[in-house]
């Protein structure tokens, strides 16, 4: 998980620059396979879609799911860098304690379905990437962005629900500060051959509050800030990580189930 700790640190450091420069960049490299630059200032933002009030709120876990957080304890989690998480638990949710470090699951999965609910801070503070920023990472490498992008200008590929730095969401379906949102996510892990060559990229399906933001969208590599990086071979298994980006974002009702194989 060292890799993820470094990545998190990089994103933390980079956020200040993003705010200082406004709502995007002009000096970043082109995203591989796309006409846009990473965090392109000129990339159009998605349309806003007002979501349903409580879509999949409190969704109970299916029988084959692992409950990662039921509101009571961090037994399934550890802090990036080791040890128990230093985040708060109260009223059935966990809350990021800024600068205490991100957290990740002790267990690992390959292809998986994840349900997770989150709320951005009730008092909106900061702007662009500095407001209600966190993130859900698969395998410590692939971020589904968590951000208060409600009335908050930021670059398109950094919106809530973005495959950060690669694909903006198809819609901005985030709720207001302090309101609960639900993510229903499907992640297909990348595959590599014995020589470490990529044989199948990762794909992500993202539903935010009942609105499809990505439909099995191909990721072109691991998440990074201001760069577009190629895949690096790994086992195709990994944990779920939640990002400490310095904002008191909340999470509740988290469960995961592995995807089976077609016969
Ligand atoms: Mg983030």
User: Cα(32) to centroid of ligand 1, in Å?
Assistant: 21
**235 within domain boundaries:** yes
User: Cα(200) to centroid of ligand 1, in Å?
Assistant: 25
Q: What does the pLDDT read at residue 3?
A: 47
User: Cα(261) to centroid of ligand 1, in Å?
Assistant: 31
Cβ-based neighbours of 142, under 8 Å, separated by 6 or more: 163, 187, 202, 204, 219, 222, 223
User: Cα(161) to centroid of ligand 1, in Å?
Assistant: 10
Looking at the chain, how many residues does it have? 263
Q: What does the pLDDT read at residue 79?
A: 98
Q: Total structural domains in the chain? A: 1
CA gap 23, 25 in Å, rounded? 7
Q: What does the pLDDT read at residue 261?
A: 87
User: Cα(255) to centroid of ligand 1, in Å?
Assistant: 20
User: Cα(38) to centroid of ligand 1, in Å?
Assistant: 15
User: Cα(199) to centroid of ligand 1, in Å?
Assistant: 28
pLDDT per residue, tens digit, the chain (263 aa), is 344 444 444 444 444 444 434 599 999 999 999 999 999 999 999 999 999 999 999 999 999 999 999 999 999 999 999 999 999 999 999 999 999 999 999 999 999 999 999 999 999 899 999 999 999 999 999 999 999 999 999 999 999 999 999 999 999 999 999 999 999 999 999 999 999 999 999 999 999 999 999 999 999 999 999 999 999 999 999 999 999 999 999 999 999 999 988 99
**156 within domain boundaries:** yes
User: Cα(241) to centroid of ligand 1, in Å?
Assistant: 11
CATH number for the domain spanning 184: value is 2.60.120.560
**263 within domain boundaries:** no
DSSP one-letter code for 177: T
User: Cα(45) to centroid of ligand 1, in Å?
Assistant: 17
**33 within domain boundaries:** yes
**pTM check: above 0.85:** yes
Give the domain range for residue 196: 2-258
Which ranges constitute the DSSP H helices of the chain? 2-21
**133 within domain boundaries:** yes
Burial (CB count within 10 angstroms: exposed 0-12, middle 13-18, buried 19+), residue 7: buried
User: Cα(194) to centroid of ligand 1, in Å?
Assistant: 32
User: Cα(134) to centroid of ligand 1, in Å?
Assistant: 4
User: Cα(173) to centroid of ligand 1, in Å?
Assistant: 16
User: Cα(61) to centroid of ligand 1, in Å?
Assistant: 25
Report yes or no: 97 and 85 within 8 Å, Cβ to Cβ: no
């Amino acid at each position: 998980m060292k890799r993820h700790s470094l990545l998190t640190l990089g994103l933390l450091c980079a956020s200040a620059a993003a705010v200082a420069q406004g709502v995007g960049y002009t000096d970043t490299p082109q995203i591989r396979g796309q006409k846009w630059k990473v965090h392109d200032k000129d990339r159009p933002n998605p349309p806003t879609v007002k979501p349903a009030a409580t879509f999949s709120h409190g969704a109970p876990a299916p029988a084959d799911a692992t409950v990662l957080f039921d509101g009571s304890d961090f037994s399934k989690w550890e802090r990036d860098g080791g040890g128990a998480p230093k985040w708060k638990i109260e009223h059935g949710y966990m809350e990021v304690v800024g600068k205490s470090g991100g957290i990740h699951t002790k267990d690992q999965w390959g292809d998986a379905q994840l349900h997770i609910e989150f709320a951005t801070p009730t008092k909106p503070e900061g702007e662009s990437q500095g407001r209600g920023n966190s993130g859900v990472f698969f395998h410590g490498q692939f971020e589904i962005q968590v951000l208060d992008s409600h009335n908050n200008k930021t670059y398109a590929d950094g919106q809530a629900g973005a495959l950060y730095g690669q694909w903006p969401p198809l819609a901005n379906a985030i709720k207001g500060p302090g309101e609960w949102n639900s993510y229903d996510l499907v992640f297909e892990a990348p595959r590599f051959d014995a020589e470490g060559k990529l044989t199948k990229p990762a794909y992500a399906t993202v539903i935010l509050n009942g609105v499809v933001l990505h439909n099995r969208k191909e990721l072109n590599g691991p998440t990074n800030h201001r760069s577009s990086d190629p895949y690096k071979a790994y086992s195709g298994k990994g944990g779920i990580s939640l990002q400490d980006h310095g904002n008191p974002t909340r999470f509740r009702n988290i469960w995961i189930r592995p995807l089976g194989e077609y016969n």
